[in-house]
Amino acid sequence: MKTSGSRRRFIQTAAGGLAGVALASGRPSVAAAALPDATERRRLIDLAHFGRKTPAEGAGGMAITSHPLATREAVEVLRRGGNACDAALAASITQTVVEPHMTTITGCLSQLYFDAATGETTYVNGNVNTPMAPLPAFGAHDLATGRGVAVPGWWGGFEAAHDRHGALPRKDLMAGAIAYARDGFETHPFLWGEIFIQSEKIGRTAAGREIFFEDGAVPRPGAMLHQKRAADTLERLADEGNDYFYRGDFARRVCEVVQEAGGVLTPDDFARWEPRWQEPAWGSYRRLKIAGSPPPDNGGTHLIEMLHMLEFLDLERLGPPTESAESLLQMLRVSHLVYREGGRQNDPESHPLPLETILSKDYARMRFDLLQMGHPVSSASEPPPPVGSNHVTVVDAAGNVSTILHSCMSYPWSNGLFAEGVSICAAGAHFLRVMPRPGHRISAYVAPNLIFEDDRPVMASGSPSVSLLQNCLQNSLNVLEFGIPVGDSVNRPRFGGPSLTTPGAVLIEADFPEAVREAVAARGIRFDVVNPWNWHHGSFEGIHIGPDGIRRACGDPRRCSMAEAT
């Protein structure tokens, strides 16, 4: 509801104090954000580095994200009485500001949520749609133009999740993101590096230069980044929601920019978009029950498929893949089979998908037996999807769990397009995997998952990047099958998905034990050996809930992650 210009909003200043500022636009106030003061903000940003992190544990609430400022925002929301959904959404909207190279409100946001009071697990798919207009001869070259832009699902997923599960007002959850956008924050090294790499695309338009080239050039590392137009946009979203994003000024402006760049997106495409509430995919592994994201966000389903096949091995006897060549071989074969076959799946609403068959134990037995014929891993021939994404996992004191994947669905600033102070991402990169019918959802390796023992959540996790399936598989088994503490698990050497540079090869980190690696290579597996803690292996944003109720998590050294307890 509109209010007079006399209404005032409160924002957090860069020094950490509260200042009342009149809103000339007449938009209603946004709740004050309890942000860290300047000293604490700089300390947290200094923790936004690659490398070993400090584990966290506690009996109350816990959050883990890929940026310390976002993790802190989630924890503060929990302390203010918000639940796991509130905290995860607050972290996610904060990441669109502090990690604009990984996510944006023009991308996707999907949430798997466990309600402790009812025992219900729900899934909302907030992924992107194709435009209704056809895109003939679509190819990788289109990602640098408006043709590579999809219908955003990010905000729709956010609003749908909050409407169903949230406890605090939407404005309270967005206040921190708005304050960081308006008042700024110090650019951490990962963000600065991506700005530098993509500077030619960012800087070719006045809109990009206004945000990232404040003094006419690439900023210095550690310089303050202000996104004042984005702050205005987020304030309008806090007030008007879908009426602004899908049916109002935001949709119209994005479409104008996209069409000027050769795209086909229209306001009608925005107005047609709707969130999808879906039953999670379900499976089991020994004593454990697994809930995962269902197709077309099919990564959760794929994790279940892998665990179904690996159940036919005595992994407890064999040991983890860092110690057993047989475990490594079988995990590689299983994960790459699922990855390759999953790449052919389309939106089930337009292309029938026999999910019951895919998730059956009989099918798992047949696939596992066929794998034992000795053929080496055969990677998919198409390049892996781009690497930009964030994952957020939160558990609150009452036992509610939220695990969210949100993403720009592409390399950062692929097309250099901006509208209303935010990046218009090239989410159409996922059209290259399999092109949906006009107006339908993309298929994506999105993998929020929850693992239960006796109907009690014991692990909630997910990961960004091209190796997110292998990431979740290895860490989940490390903790729940082999009893490795989560803080040790995330630091262990890891194998990944298909090589980005060597067709037919598999990513593996250089510190993976050489004897194990050579034994598997002798059986026909080709490895692309990369650096330890390689960023293409994702970031395990997982929380382990022990039988004593203690929550444990640890930031992955492959990203800028931080876990924190309330």
Q: What is the pLDDT along the chain (566 residues), one digit of tens a residue?
A: 333 332 223 233 333 333 333 333 333 344 556 799 999 999 999 999 999 999 999 999 999 999 999 999 999 999 999 999 999 999 999 999 999 999 999 999 999 999 999 999 999 999 999 999 999 999 999 999 999 999 999 999 999 999 999 999 999 999 999 999 999 999 999 999 999 999 999 999 999 999 999 888 999 999 999 999 999 999 999 999 999 999 999 999 999 999 999 999 999 999 999 999 999 999 999 999 999 999 999 999 999 999 999 999 999 999 999 999 999 999 999 999 999 999 889 999 999 999 999 999 999 999 999 999 876 665 555 556 556 899 999 999 999 999 999 999 988 999 999 999 999 999 999 999 899 999 999 999 999 999 999 999 999 999 999 899 999 999 999 999 999 999 999 999 999 999 988 888 999 999 999 999 999 999 999 999 999 999 999 999 999 999 999 999 999 999 999 999 99
Q: Which pLDDT does position 491 carry in this prediction?
A: 98
Which helix (H) or strand (E) covers residue 21, if one does? strand 18-22
Residue 299 lies in a domain: yes
Residues 6+ apart with CB under 8 A from 287: 453
Distance CA 98, CA 45 (A): 10
Give me the CATH number covering residue 476: 1.10.246.130
Tell me if 206 sits within 8 A of 214, measured CB to CB.
Answer: no
Domains in the chain, number: 1
Residue 308 lies in a domain: yes
Residue 217 lies in a domain: no
Residue 44 lies in a domain: no
Which residue matches tokens 């951490």? 188
Tell me if 195 sits within 8 A of 220, measured CB to CB.
Answer: no
* CA-based torsion, 451, 127, 386, 192: positive or negative: negative
Residue 442 lies in a domain: no
Residue 183 lies in a domain: no
φ, ψ of residue 245 to 5 degrees: the values are: -75, -50
Q: Which pLDDT does position 17 carry in this prediction?
A: 33
Q: Which domain holds residue 455?
A: 282-385+448-550
Residue 510 lies in a domain: yes
For the whole model, what pTM was predicted?
Answer: 0.93
Q: Which pLDDT does position 7 carry in this prediction?
A: 27
DSSP state of 118: T
Q: Which pLDDT does position 214 carry in this prediction?
A: 84
Question: Closest by alpha carbon to 390, among 101, 123, 149, 180?
Answer: 101
Distance CA 410, CA 263 (A): 17
Sheet holding 281-285, edge to edge: 56-58, 551-553, 543-545, 456-461, 449-453, 288-292, 281-285
Which residue matches tokens 């720009």? 408
Sheet holding 495-498, edge to edge: 495-498, 506-509, 527-530
